[in-house]
Amino acid sequence: MIDKKPRRTIIFGGQDEDFIKKLAGDIGCHYSKANERTYNLNRFNSDVHGEMGIFAWVHKEDSDYFWVATRKSWVEQARSKELAGRKYGLSCFPRDTQRAEDSVCFDTKNDYQNAVRALSLINKAA
């Protein structure tokens, strides 16, 4: 169970792109900087926003604490397509400031491998 839920985001620094690059590589996707507080995880390498295939957003809460938000419907779609009835513990939690039925967040500090596995499934399910 995750005790700490993200409540705010802080601005990414130059060294943080190394983490985003590693995360995108582990997932098998591309990334782009949306603004100073958010990176996008994309299915396609494009400079055109509508052609990126954005499926998740990476935020930073602390110097070494990142979390990734995605849509709950995409998690369910990935489960149904990729898991085909098998049960995996895709641990995620709703962010306090978002409607719980619409989005989920993955903790990359305490459960990096689970976040990568779940986001890889979401990336492939499209």
pLDDT(83) > 80: no
Q: With residue 57 as reference, give the H or E element that holds it.
A: strand 54-62
82-113 burial: b if 16+ Cβ within 10 Å, else e: eeeeeeeebebbbbeeeeeeebbbbbbeebee
Would you state the pLDDT for residue 87?
46
Q: What is the mean pLDDT of residues 23-48?
A: 90
| Residues 6 or more apart whose Cβ sits within 8 Å of residue 64 | 109
Would you state the pLDDT for residue 84?
46
Where residue 84 falls (left for φ over 0; alpha for ψ -120 to 50; beta otherwise) is: left
> Using CA atoms, how far apart are residues 48 and 107, in angstroms rounded to an integer?
29
The values of phi and psi at residue 45, to 5°, are -90, 95
- What's the pTM? 0.69
Would you state the pLDDT for residue 3?
46
Which CATH code for domain 16-125? 3.90.1150
> Using CA atoms, how far apart are residues 12 and 111, in angstroms rounded to an integer?
21
pLDDT(22) > 90: yes
Residue 52 and residue 65 in contact, taking contact as beta carbons nearer than 8 Å = no
Q: What is the mean pLDDT of residues 105-118?
A: 83
Q: What separation in angstroms does the CA of 118 have from each of 4, 59, 89?
A: 20, 17, 9
